[in-house]
Amino acid sequence: MKTLYGLIIVFLGVGSCTIYDKEFDNPVDFIANNEKGIGAPTLTFYPLTQTKASTETVIVESFIVFNPDSMKSFAGVHLQLDFPQSFLSFDTITPGLFITDTSQATPLFTYTFDGTNTVDIYTYFLDTIETDLLGSGHLANIIFSPLGVGTDSVLYNLSACEMIDYYDNVVELKGVRGAEIIIQ
């Protein structure tokens, strides 16, 4: 009788299992970016895709990703991003944790908005002790308010983005990854 109950439990357990495909989205995963043809150092947005109601705030996080064997220090970053003004309204930008916590110094962090669909972010380390950063991390949060429904992407304009080291030498950015926004 115990064997019968055991078989029933095993049958119910095996028969009721569902295996789900999980899609992981790690913004600082240089291996996954490299597999998609996105070289390092790269600029990425997180999350890769997000779905929001028209009443919710949309937060897109900006990251810099280096490959550990080609890590370079940097002292300043200029990011330019474009967003779909047809259904997103720019709200504000806040500095990321990598910029504010890693350096233990307050960087110059500012941004400009052209009034339509382009935002420029500037951050530089002006401290005499902490002059640069080394590693991958969170640069900024870009906050939007939905204006309507639709699907589009927030994208970096790589030709206008720039990273420099302490001596004002350019650190070449090799790739970007945008973020898809779905407003329902």
Domain at 27, CATH number: 2.60.40.680
Tally of domains in the chain = 1
Q: pLDDT exceeding 70 applies to what percent of the chain?
A: 74
2-45 per-position pLDDT tens digit: 665 555 555 555 555 555 554 556 666 666 666 777 767 889 89
Separation between Cα atoms, residue 95 and residue 110, nearest integer Å: 9
Say what the pLDDT of residue 58 is.
97
For residue 10, the SS3 value is helix
Ranges under pLDDT 70 in the chain: 1-34, 39, 99-106, 127-130
Handedness of CA 89, 124, 38, 120 (dihedral sign): positive
Say what the pLDDT of residue 2 is.
60
Separation between Cα atoms, residue 33 and residue 127, nearest integer Å: 32
Say what the pLDDT of residue 27 is.
61
Say what the pLDDT of residue 184 is.
92
Residue whose C-alpha is closest to residue 64's, from 142, 137, 161: 137
Residue whose C-alpha is closest to residue 67's, from 165, 133, 136, 132: 136
User: What's 47's DSSP letter?
Assistant: S
Residue 117: domain span: 2-183
Does the pTM exceed 0.85?
Answer: no
Say what the pLDDT of residue 57 is.
96
